[in-house]
Amino acid sequence: MTNTRLRTYIMHVEDLPGVLNRVTSLFRRRGYNIDSLTVGRTEVPAVSRMTIVMEADDDAARRIEANLYKLVNVLKVEDTTRRPCVTRELALIKVRADQARRAHVLQLAEVFRARVIDIAPEAMIFEITGTRDKIEGLAGVLAEYGIVEMVRTGAVAMLRSAGAEAEVQEQPRTSAA
Amino acid sequence: MRTGAQILWEALHREGVEVVFGYPGGAIMPAYDALLESPIRHVLVRHEQGASHMADGYARVSGKVGVAIATSGPGATNLVTGIATAMLDSVPLVCITGQVSSKFIGSDAFQETDITGVTLPITKHNYLVTNVDDIAKTIREAFYVARSGRPGPVLVDITKDAQQASTVPVWSDEPVRMRGYRPEHRAGSEDLSRAAELIDRAKRPVILAGHGIVKAEASKLLRAFVDKTGIPVASTLLGLGGFPATDPLALGMMGMHGESWVNHAIQEADLLIALGMRFDDRVTGKLDTYAVNAKKIHCELDPAEINKNVRADVALVGDVRDTLESLLGLVARNDHGSWLARISDYKGDSAVRDIQTMPHDGRLFAAHVMHDLWRITEGKALVVTDVGQHQMWEAQYYKHDHPRKLVTSGGLGTMGFALPAAIGAKFASPKDEVWVIAGDGGFQMTACELATIAQEGIKLHIAIINNGYLGMVRQWQQFFYNGRYSATPLKSPDFVKLADAHGLDGLRVTKRDEVEWAVERARASEGTVLIDFRVEQEDSVYPMVPSGAALHDMIRRPNPIVETAGDE
Ligand SMILES: Cc1ncc(C[n+]2csc(CCOP(=O)(O)OP(=O)(O)O)c2C)c(N)n1
Ligand SMILES: [Mg+2]
């Protein structure tokens, strides 16, 4: 089975020292390459939430899930790949733009709904939130003006349907078919 | 009020621990002080690697959790090889290490090593305990995690100040509950019926019995399943003994050094029923040529093993004993006479090629030692092997009829394992006749534990298969590196004198007709006897599936009748 694609996992883990290390150590040890990883608090005390984006085929994806469940501090893992889900990422882009080109750059940014958060004589900083495609789109057009630096948060994701987030302890899918 | 150190021993006692294997040092001294008031027996090892291997041997034989204890820094890092060994063979261990006081953590204090960091990828789980109030609960969790689900090693690192501080301990008899840990699985009934259907329809089925059969205490059920279905059983190295080797339906060991007919049967099969095994590369050979015509039913406790190496047509995730019990009720009574006859044909000239049946010319081969040992001990000894050629010969020639009678490092292949693991095995089962079978190389890696044997006054039987080489590596050099022996010839100390220096008896055997005498003398002796078997130096283990070759592509021992010795 191939079907290699970027996959987004949502994980709930116990908020304890070293848990992030356990998760990343697992990915490293099994040779999986993380595309992006974000961690933060949740609405539940002592539970953190991670969004992990990585490339994997169907088989590897199922095994990753099963391996993550073997970590004692992992509460819940969801592969969002085949489920309705919203994904957002935030980027700050500092672009070279003197007075002469500023208006033009601003116009472009407008198309992508990016916000200006800093203006200096030689450069300006945009803040953009959106999907990976949208951010890469903006970065692409700004590249012509010269990107001084860029920082991205990596994706955060949430399943669409209400109720899907109920506090359940899912077991990994075990059927082979 | 009790100190953390006292609470630690009390917690171990409450888990049913009778013996621990360890070595003291600065950061664990409070615990060692409190040990003097504990009923638990402590075995002083000579190197902490020995402690983790002893705990491992103890666990494999008893089915209980083995316990090793060490100080911080070098004491803790010395445990690492034994922990990794236990991890790959799913052996339940709890390793307790002292750690520098919490206020020094992260400061590179004397003997500070981040041992939870070091052991992160080689433990099932680990803990750093800095608060005396967490000791009782953590030990309980550690034992639960180590033995439940797919077992494995758990390390608990306890700071010195937590051991010294005092508190009123809270003991719980409630079952352990951990939010993120659900080790139990059960095969679905639909999958079970699909499996039963495949089993009933199969014309050329083979059971692949692995370590899981032994661990899950599923031997009796496997027996019943085989009696009903008439399906022959091939074993992995760690599965040996899970099904009686002398049974007509026992095919023998599969894989790199498996019997040729076993590997052929697997390659020809139309159904493989894998029970508690994980299709390691040492048993499959080249994956895309592995049993291509066979459907595969994979019964395994760990969901992460499904479709890892071999794609399963039906996956039955759960305890293999539960799975077998369910299947037993679903499958039809059957027999596979013509398939068995076919497998018999695969044996072909195997017997002629067997060193065991070749004309006796006075030379001593390792195979002779294994066979004689099996014959003399009536197959009842508890054998602990090291890693190398002797390990494979033992697996081929010592027919294990009962589970937990062979202890060996399969997944990690850890040289130096046998002697300390045997000490642990002896503590687990004092009535057993325990034989260590080690190579001249591996024996020297942990030979210091002879002193532990002497101090504890236990009786082992030690067979060193002395071929003057790191034999298994020499064999690979012979086959795959044009016979260029790089760093494999080995000069060893006089093992008989070494035994003597420890106050143990040593014997030397150089001829085949001395084997029986020596073995009987060792058995009759009060104390531990070491036998230095000087065997044929450049013999090789056959058959051999070269690494990366298809399972049926075996290098066979030259047939003395149709080939001249030296031909492949
Ligand atoms: C700790 C460790 N180091 C190296 C190896 C690689 N290795 C596997 S078998 C072997 C040779 C073992 O020699 P010996 O103990 O004399 O046994 P023999 O093969 O001769 O029976 C070696 C070096 C290993 N398995 N474990
Ligand atoms: Mg040797």
Encode B44-76: b = buried (16+ Cβ within 10 Å), e = exposed: ebbbbbbbbbbbbbbbbbbbbbbbbbbbbbebb
Distance CA(B48)–CA(B83), nearest Å, equals: 11
- Chain B residues with at least one Cβ partner in A under 8 Å: 116-117, 120-121, 124-125, 128, 145, 178-182, 185, 188, 191, 298, 302-304, 306-308, 311-315, 317
pLDDT in tens, B180-238: 898 999 999 999 999 999 999 999 999 999 999 999 999 999 999 999 999 999 999 99
Q: Which pLDDT band, with edges at 50, 70 and 90, does A65 fall under?
A: very high
Distance CA(B285)–CA(B546), nearest Å, equals: 8
Residues B404 and B547 in one domain: yes
Distance CA(A166)–CA(B198), nearest Å, equals: 39
Q: Is the pLDDT of residue B147 over 90?
A: yes
Nearest to B406 by CA among B57, B160, B133, B108: B57
Residue in B120, B189, B298, B311 to test binding to A, most A beta-carbons within 10 Å: B120
Q: Is residue B25 part of a domain?
A: yes
Residues B231 and B203 in one domain: yes
pLDDT of A172 reads 40
Q: Which pLDDT band, with edges at 50, 70 and 90, does A2 fall under?
A: confident
Mean pLDDT, chain B, whole residue set = 96
CA–centroid distance, B396 to ligand 2, in Å, is 17
Nearest to B428 by CA among B42, B57, B12: B57
Q: Is residue B464 part of a domain?
A: yes
Average pLDDT of the residues in B333-349: 95
Options B6, B87, B143, B160, the catalytic residue: B160
Domain A86-156: assigned CATH number: 3.30.70.1150
Non-local CB neighbours of B76 within 8 Å, separated by 6+ positions: B48, B70, B97, B98, B113, B115, B118, B157
Q: Is residue B135 part of a domain?
A: yes
Tell me the two tokens of residue A41: 């608090």
Average pLDDT of the residues in A77-104: 93
Non-local CB neighbours of A100 within 8 Å, separated by 6+ positions: none
- β-partners of residue B209 are B235, B275
Report the SS3 class of residue A118. Answer: strand
Give the relative orientation of helices B337-347 and B260-268 as an angle to the nearest 10 degrees. Answer: 140
Pick the CATH number of A5-82 from 3.30.70.260, 3.40.50.2300, 2.30.30.30, 3.40.50.720: 3.30.70.260
Give the least confident one: A27-36, B6-15, B351-360, B457-466: B351-360
Residues B376 and B449 in one domain: yes
Residue span(s) of chain A under CATH 3.30.70.1150 come to: 86-156
Of B298, B328, B347, which closes a domain? B347
pLDDT of B332 reads 98
Provide the domain limits for residue B157: 2-167
pLDDT in tens, B273-298: 999 999 999 999 999 999 999 999 99
pLDDT in tens, A131-175: 999 999 999 999 999 999 999 999 999 999 765 444 433 444 444
Q: Is residue B449 part of a domain?
A: yes
Average pLDDT of the residues in A66-83: 93
Give the relative orientation of helices B418-428 and B48-62 as an angle to the nearest 10 degrees. Answer: 50
**Residue B303 with chain A: CB contacts under 8 Å:** 66, 69, 172-174
Q: Is the pLDDT of residue B425 over 60?
A: yes
B458 neighbors B444 (Cβ within 8 angstroms) = no
Rg for chain B (alpha carbons), in Å? 24
Residues B429 and B525 in one domain: yes
Of all helices (H) and strands (E), which one includes residue A90?
strand A85-96
Residue span(s) of chain A under CATH 3.30.70.260 come to: 5-82
For residue B110, count other CB atoms closer than 10 A to its CB.
Answer: 11
Average pLDDT of the residues in A64-88: 93
Q: Which pLDDT band, with edges at 50, 70 and 90, does A33 fall under?
A: confident
Kindly list the strands in the beta sheet with A34-41, ordered across the sheet, starting from the edge strand earlier in the chain. A34-41, A47-56, A5-14, A74-79
Q: Is the pLDDT of residue B22 over 70?
A: yes
For residue B543, cis peptide bond before it (omega within 30 degrees of 0)? yes
Residues B162 and B255 in one domain: no
Nearest to B90 by CA among B183, B227, B225: B183
Task: Give me the percent of chain A exceeding a pLDDT of 70.
Answer: 90
Active site residue B456: no
Q: Is the pLDDT of residue A75 over 70?
A: yes
pLDDT in tens, B36-55: 999 999 999 999 999 999 99
Residues B224 and B154 in one domain: no
pLDDT in tens, A101-111: 999 999 999 99
pLDDT of A162 reads 63
The pick from B85, B369, B387, B476 for probing ligand 1's pocket by mutation, whose C-beta has the most ligand atoms within 8 angstroms, reads B387
Non-local CB neighbours of B132 within 8 Å, separated by 6+ positions: B3, B4, B7, B162, B163, B165, B166, B167
For residue B156, count other CB atoms closer than 10 A to its CB.
Answer: 26
The domain tally of chain B equals 3
pLDDT in tens, B259-276: 999 999 999 999 999 999
Residues B456 and B429 in one domain: yes
Distance CA(A135)–CA(A140), nearest Å, equals: 8
Nearest to B162 by CA among B32, B1, B3: B3
pLDDT of B561 reads 73
Residues B423 and B295 in one domain: no
- In the 3-class helix/strand/coil scheme, how is B450-504 assigned residue by residue? HHHHHHHCCCCEEEEEECCECHHHHHHHHHHCCCCCCCCECCCCCHHHHHHHCCC
pLDDT of B562 reads 65
Active site residue B516: no
Distance CA(B367)–CA(B372), nearest Å, equals: 8
pLDDT of B355 reads 86
Active site residue B511: no
Task: Give me the percent of chain A exceeding a pLDDT of 90.
Answer: 79
End-to-end CA distance of chain B: 72
Of all helices (H) and strands (E), which one includes residue A51?
strand A47-56
Q: Is residue B96 part of a domain?
A: yes
Residues B467 and B523 in one domain: yes
Residues B337 and B378 in one domain: no
ipTM: 0.88
Ligand (nearest to CA of B390): 1
Read off the pTM.
0.94
Q: Is residue B178 part of a domain?
A: no
Residues with CB under 6 A from ligand 1: B 386-390, 413-416, 439-442, 465, 467, 469-473
Q: Which pLDDT band, with edges at 50, 70 and 90, does B389 fall under?
A: very high
Distance CA(B290)–CA(B206), nearest Å, equals: 14
Closest partner CB to A174 (pick from B116, B179, B315): B315
Alpha helices (runs of H) in chain A, residue ranges in sequence order: 19-29, 58-70, 99-111, 132-143
Specify the higher pLDDT residue, B380 or A58. B380
Task: Give me the percent of chain B exceeding a pLDDT of 70.
Answer: 99
pLDDT in tens, B300-331: 999 999 999 999 999 999 999 999 999 999 99
Average pLDDT of the residues in B84-105: 98
Residues B504 and B536 in one domain: yes
Residues B268 and B403 in one domain: no
Q: Is residue B409 part of a domain?
A: yes
Average pLDDT of the residues in A97-120: 93
Domain harbouring B71, CATH code: 3.40.50.970
Distance CA(A69)–CA(B183), nearest Å, equals: 9
Distance CA(B234)–CA(B206), nearest Å, equals: 7
Of B347, B382, B401, which closes a domain? B347
Place of tokens 């009696």: B227
Q: Which pLDDT band, with edges at 50, 70 and 90, does B402 fall under?
A: very high
Whether residue A72 and residue B145 make contact (CB cut-off 8 A), yes or no, is yes
pLDDT in tens, B443-460: 999 999 999 999 999 999
State the DSSP string of B339-391: HHHHHHHHHTTHHHH-TTTSPP-S---HHHHHHHHHHHTTT-SEEEE-SSHHH
Whether residue B180 and residue A175 make contact (CB cut-off 8 A), yes or no, is no
Residue in A13, A22, A71, A175 to test binding to B, most B beta-carbons within 10 Å: A175
CA–centroid distance, B536 to ligand 2, in Å, is 10
Q: Is the pLDDT of residue B568 over 60?
A: no
Distance CA(A157)–CA(A39), nearest Å, equals: 11
pLDDT of B462 reads 98
Active site residue B110: yes
Measured in whole angstroms, the distance separating CA B70 from the mean position of its chain's CA atoms is 23
Q: Is the pLDDT of residue B357 over 90?
A: no
CA–centroid distance, B470 to ligand 1, in Å, is 6
Average pLDDT of the residues in B363-390: 97
Average pLDDT of the residues in B398-418: 98
A117 neighbors A140 (Cβ within 8 angstroms) = no
pLDDT in tens, B23-36: 999 999 999 999 99
